[in-house]
Structure 1
Amino acid sequence: MTRHLAIVGSGPAGYYTAEAAQKKWGDDVRVDVFDTLPVPFGLIRTGVAPDHQSIKGVSRRYETTALSDNVRFVGNVTIGQDVTVEELQGLYDAVVFATGAPHDKPLGLPGEDLANVFGSAAFVGWYNGHPQFAQLDPDLSGKSAVVIGMGNVALDVARILSKTEDEFAGSDIVNHALEALKASRLTTVTIVGRRGPHQIMMTPKELGELMHLLRATPRVDPADLPAPEDDAILEPGLRKSVGHLRSFAAIPESERADKAVEIDFDMFASPVRLIGTGKVEGVEVERTRVEAGRAVGTGETYVIPVDLVVACIGYRSSPIPGVPFDERAGKFANDEGRILPGLYAVGWARRGPTGTIGTNRPDGFGVIDRIAEDLASGALGTVTRQGRAGFDALAEERQLDIVTFRDWKKIEEAEAQAAREGAPREKFVDIASMIRARG
């Protein structure tokens, strides 16, 4: 008996789930992978830093799955708008939400609506060419930027803001962002975090990159570092990361003199409000101390003068009409991936924005095991569903302009042809251009 599976979202979680379905049912499954955009791969395309091309290479694995006969990419279709969730449930044995967490978690601070204040989803989307954020147009004419957060996304943003044009060789940063960064006048990028070195979420490889920037140098206040012997209790990766921070603190001032940009780690600092008239001019922070792993305010405050703020404090999934959503956690309400009978969640849509790209693989295989259990137990009913054929009939009736994976390959070829010298591609940053490139 052929099983029909709909996966909403074509990023890592979506394609790992499709791969798991193939391994579970072989030729006896048909998988349709839906995406609002005409292009696949989700945050691999629009979230991973453009100068981290080796990480983006994982998409080749998903391409193997996508080009197989029983998996189909259905791009340019918005579930909940073009097609309802209820309609999908009537057509497929199971519907899996692999939509990731594409929206910024709000700061929740006074002044966050000032001009030149951005969340990382928007800012990263801007320099990665996401159609939703391509027109963001941040003002980089000031001297000082503040990046709020102590994870790898904050590091990505700080690094991108600090690089020279030559350092983007081989990357797929989009032209509009590259031109803006070339004209940037930033001299200080301050990374602000509520807690200290032992609580950072930055990984050693990404931290180590800061030591090799052509025009920028990192700074850590030695007073923020715990006693070296205290590092012994840390797990190896974090211990190595803290070792990088110690190296930053030890850089002599003579070496800093030749660098035009400073990346300053301001730890034990919790933002309390953003200040400005129309446009952000400062970030007021409260000095903290760490008690039992938590940041506790000391009452001491100060203001960091600033011209640009990027908040890298986390992400939220997109609610979809008819699907229970946990507003507090910013993800679909679920029990180990089960939302309601026939509805499932995987990846960030299931667990929130945690883990690496690879974390989504066991997550995808796990949700397929649960779907198999529910099918075997009869929990999903015994109705024979039409699957792909039924959706195609609905799409034709509604005149939906579906983009297939082979269409995407034509878009990809056009992006490669438009690339500047040394770059792998120049992304189309609006949907109409993508559709035209399909032919």
Structure 2
Amino acid sequence: MPHVITQSCCSDGSCVYACPVNCIHPSPDEPGFATAEMLYIDPVACVDCGACVSACPVGAIAPDTRLTDTQLPFIELNAAFYPKRETKLPPTSKLAPVLEAPVVHPRPGGPLRVAVVGSGPAAMYAADELLTQQGVRVNVFEKLPTPYGLVRAGVAPDHQSTKRVTKLFERVARLPGFSFYLNCEVGSDLTHDELLEHHHAVLYAVGAPDDRRLDVPGMGLPGTSTATEIVAWFNGHPEYAGLPVDLSGERVLIVGNGNVALDVARILTTEPDALARTDIADHALDALRASQVREVVIAARRGPAASAFTLPELIGLTSACEVVLDTADHDLVIRDLAHEADPLTRNKLEILAGLGQACDSRGGRPRIRLTYGLTPKRVLGEHAATGVEFAVTGTDEVREISADLVLTSIGYRGKPIRGLPFDDVAAVVPNDGGRVLDPQTSRPVPGSFVAGWIKRGPTGFIGTNKSCAAQTVHNLVADYNNGLLTDPVHKVASLDRFVRGRQPAVVDAAGWKAIDDAEIGRGGELRPRVKFTTVAGMVEAAACAPSPPVHQRLLAGLRR
């Protein structure tokens, strides 16, 4: 009874290190880890010990006899990653090398203090790695009153299992030496140099918050937006809660076919009553109940074999929604299938080949139509978007697809950080292993570090940030141990007073717990939570946090 990794896999890698027989790959030390769509359990080598189940932060692993009908394809998907063998492999010793935690050499002047800017996965994994050492202090700064970045605002509402990784982050936030400074924006409320006066180092894990924009005429017309903005709207992100999303038309067109495009298409075509059991924002649920959308078209520039979505997401989509192809696109799939050697890509193509024909669809629930080989030329419409004109890729043929809402989904892009260098082409902060580099001298900028997407670009999944953050933290600690990080000017106790002087409405861990408890309470028995969608509402909820007892405040002061 081998165990199986399913769609929810976040590539955290914890399961790799928990496995006593090294049967989960690719491991973080292997070249394919950073680009793998998920991790895979070898069904022949698995000894059914279950250690990986408890190690997985998102509940993505289960015995093959306990999978749901929609998860059954993952049995073959896990097996397909491994070559065929004639005999069963014997159990082996643990082979996956565990990266040792960085050892901090104490200084007489006080603990290592690190400011982490951002509170998403890369930030929380970095904090976790730093706090493996006694005496280290980590202060996490986040511009919103709520933490966890794209896990809260970028994961589709119907992927509640993926959001379970926040349980791990909550454990990190309870570690001694950890502090939250939420609703506090670095670059506005505080500067980089001011943070360095209070810390040995500042580690930026701010992700890639901007969308890559489609540079064609007509983008920006009413009725155009991006898929990532729509996901933020679904999730109640306060900056996008008021986004004007009109679902009164019958067709939505998405340009680009990555996982975010599939997320949006799935939500737009899912029965609202099913979404009412998730943490989707109320304004989005109301709009979906009134939606007139009958079809979501996902258009890709390249062919089926180059589809940007992952195989697990395609399996999840086709098991939950009606997905169809035009006859011409079926022909493209069959063509690619005849020449494709990679087994995982072949699996993707075989699923596409089994999709229904668009012309055979019969009313009922809204459907999703995938189409390929279309390069966008311009958005149609004078005063509002009415569709997109495409060139058939590689030809002079022109094709138009009408739509009432046009979304682009062509990726994320990092944006400059005040006080740090920035590579406009790669849209990352130039760095070497997380050490920020001065582009003029190619030398490290003292005390400045990056992790996550702002370090490596928008690649990988939630858990991929774990190994990325660990690399940065190891280099940060090495610089500290080698005397390359300047001691802070101010004492530990002065930071809290300084931050509150700049931003009186700062939200601490107790304030976040009050927000969290209030949202969960608003969800009742039917929903995981009902989110606050305004900063004012969040701050008001945070203000209801009870003051800690006097003895706790005294102990906190002594620890500082």
Say yes or no: TM over 0.5: yes
Select which of 241, 252, 255 maps to 2:348.
241
1:230 matches 2:338: yes
2:407 to 310, 328, 333: 310
Q: Deviations over 1:237-276 (max 9, x none)?
A: x33222221121x46966x315332311110111111111
Q: Gaps spanning 5+ residues in structure 1: where?
A: 289-296
Q: Does 2:268 align with 1:132?
A: no
Provide the residue aligned with 1:218 in structure 2.
324
Aligned to 1:412: 516
Q: Which residue of 1 aligns with 2:376?
A: 271
- Quote the offset at 1:397 in angstroms: 3.1
Q: Which residue of 1 aligns with 2:501?
A: 397
SS, match of residue 364 in structure 1:
helix
SS at match of 2:539: helix
Contact 2:116-2:205 within 8 A present in 1 as well: yes
Q: Identify the residue that residue 428 of structure 2 maps to in structure 1.
A: 331
Counterpart for residue 37 of structure 1? 144
Match of 2:266? 159
Contact 2:324 2:368 in 1 (8 A): yes
Structure 1 residue aligned with 2:17: none
Amino acid at match of 1:428: F
Q: Deviations over 1:18-46 (max 9, x none)?
A: 011112xx122000011001111100000
Q: 1:141, 1:80 → 2: CA distance?
A: 40
| Aligned position for 1:18 | 127
The corresponding residue for 2:311 is 204
Q: What secondary structure is seen at the aligned counterpart in 2 of 1:222?
A: helix
Contact 2:112 2:200 in 1 (8 A): yes
In structure 1, what is the equivalent of residue 135 of structure 2?
28
TM-score, normalised to structure 1, is 0.92
Q: Answer yes or no: is 1:375 the counterpart of 2:477.
A: no
Query: Deviation at 1:361?
Result: 0.2
Give how far 1:230 is off: 3.4
* Greater shift in the superposed pair: 337-346 or 5-14: 337-346
Q: Distance in 1 between matches of 2:210 and 2:358?
A: 40
Moved more, 270-279 or 75-84: 270-279
Alignment partners' CA distance in 2, 1:384 and 1:184: 55
1:292-371 aligned within 5 A: 297-339=394-436, 340-371=445-476
Q: Amino acid of the residue matched to residue 373 of structure 1?
A: A
Structure 2: give runs of 5+ residues left out of the alignment.
1-105, 437-444, 545-560
Deviations 1:365-400 (A, max 9, x none): 10001101212233224x355464232131243353
Cα distance in structure 2, aligned partners of 1:14 and 1:184 = 37
Could you tell me whether the CA contact under 8 Å between 1:325 and 1:331 is conserved in 2? yes
Per-residue displacement from partner, 1:326-377 (whole Å, max 9, x unpaired)?
A: 2222222222211122111100111111100010000111000110121223
Q: Does 1:422 align with 2:526?
A: yes
Between structures 1 and 2, the one with greater strand share: 1
Q: Which residue identity lines up with residue 206 of structure 1 in the other structure? A: E
Structure with higher Rg: it is 2
1:97 matched to 2:201:
no
* Cross-structure match for 1:292: none
Task: Kindly indicate whether the alpha-carbon contact (under 8 Å) linking 1:5 and 1:387 is maintained by their aligned counterparts in 2.
Answer: no
2:342 is matched by which residue type in structure 1?
Answer: L
Within the alignment, does 1:80 sit opposite 2:194 as a pair? Answer: no
Larger RCO, structures 1/2 (Cα 8 Å, 6+ apart): 1
Cα contact 1:77–1:400 (8 A) shared by 2: no
- Trace 1:166-205 onto structure 2 (pairs within 5 A): 166-205=273-312
Amino acid in the other structure paired with 1:435: V
Residue 115 of structure 1 pairs with residue 213 of structure 2: no
Secondary structure of residue in 1 paired with 2:385: strand
* Partner residue, 2:538: 434
SS in 1 for 2:432: coil
Aligned residue pairs total 424
Provide the C-alpha distance between the structure 1 equivalents of 2:323 and 2:212, rounded to a whole number of angstroms. 29
Please tell me the residue identity of whatever aligns with 1:280.
A
Deviation at 1:78, TM superposition (A): 0.2
Please give the alpha-carbon distance, in whole angstroms, between the structure 1 residues aligned to 2:500 and 2:353.
61
Stretch deviating more after TM superposition (191-200 or 414-423): 414-423
Residue identity in the other structure for 1:417? G
Q: Which deviates more from structure 2 when the two are superposed, residues 410-419 or residues 224-233?
A: 224-233
Q: Is the 8 A contact 1:231 1:239 kept in 2?
A: no
AA in 1 matched with 2:324? P
Cα deviation, residue 198, structure 1: 1.0
- Kept in 2, the 8 Å contact 1:11–1:98? The answer is yes
1:5 alignment partner, one of 75, 97, 114: 114
Amino acid at match of 1:174: A
Q: For residue 66 of structure 1, what is the aligned residue in structure 2?
A: 173
Separation in 1 of the partners of 2:359 and 2:164? 38
CA–CA distance in 1 between the matches of 2:178 and 2:500? 20
